[in-house]
Amino acid sequence: MGKDKTSAKKIQDYYDLSLNYLESAKISLKKQLFEPAMFSAIHALELSLKAALLTKTDEAWKTHNIGGQFGKYFMDDIGDKTCRRINVIISRYNLPRYPSQKELDSEEVEGDICFIEDFIKNQIVALVK
């Protein structure tokens, strides 16, 4: 798909919003608010994946679980291991959103946020430019 002015702006808007949610995740993490931190991080990841997908298709992605679609278009670019990690993180979408008997592990949350930050700032940015 050739990026015209409108689609390039939409891609950039999705990417920029993903960075806002990532920043929110980092602030929540510093305050040890693990559920809001993870929720914001997952949302940041989701928005960044949608930004990348918009470079390949004009489809409006309304679902939260887009890891499979992302892998379909970008597996060769980012590799199977990264695609699997994305899918694992996205599969936990509801965990930080609702009360649960399972507490989030602070180290796991921190590791996921570090992965998501690196992924967005180093891999997604290369895919959307």
Whether residue 38 contacts residue 109, with contact meaning beta carbons closer than 8 Å, is answered with: yes
Instruction: Give the pLDDT of residue 6.
Output: 57
* Spatial CA neighbour of 23 closest among 99, 94, 116: 116
**Fold exhibited by the domain 5-128:** Four Helix Bundle (Hemerythrin (Met), subunit A) (1.20.120)
H or E element, residue 84 = helix 80-91
* Spatial CA neighbour of 86 closest among 40, 127, 34, 46: 46
- Cβ partners under 8 Å of residue 117, min gap 6: 22, 26
Instruction: Give the pLDDT of residue 1.
Output: 40
Tell me the C-alpha to C-alpha distance, in Å, between residue 32 and each of 18, 38, 67, 89, 108: 21, 11, 27, 19, 13
**CA–CA dist 97, 43 (Å, integer):** 11
pLDDT of the chain, 129 residues: tens digit per residue: 445 555 889 999 999 999 999 999 999 999 999 999 999 999 999 999 999 999 988 776 666 677 888 999 999 999 999 999 999 999 988 888 888 767 789 999 999 999 999 999 999 999 998
**CA–CA dist 11, 32 (Å, integer):** 31
Query: For the whole model, what pTM was predicted?
Result: 0.90
**CA–CA dist 44, 86 (Å, integer):** 12
- Cβ partners under 8 Å of residue 32, min gap 6: 106
Instruction: Give the pLDDT of residue 79.
Output: 95
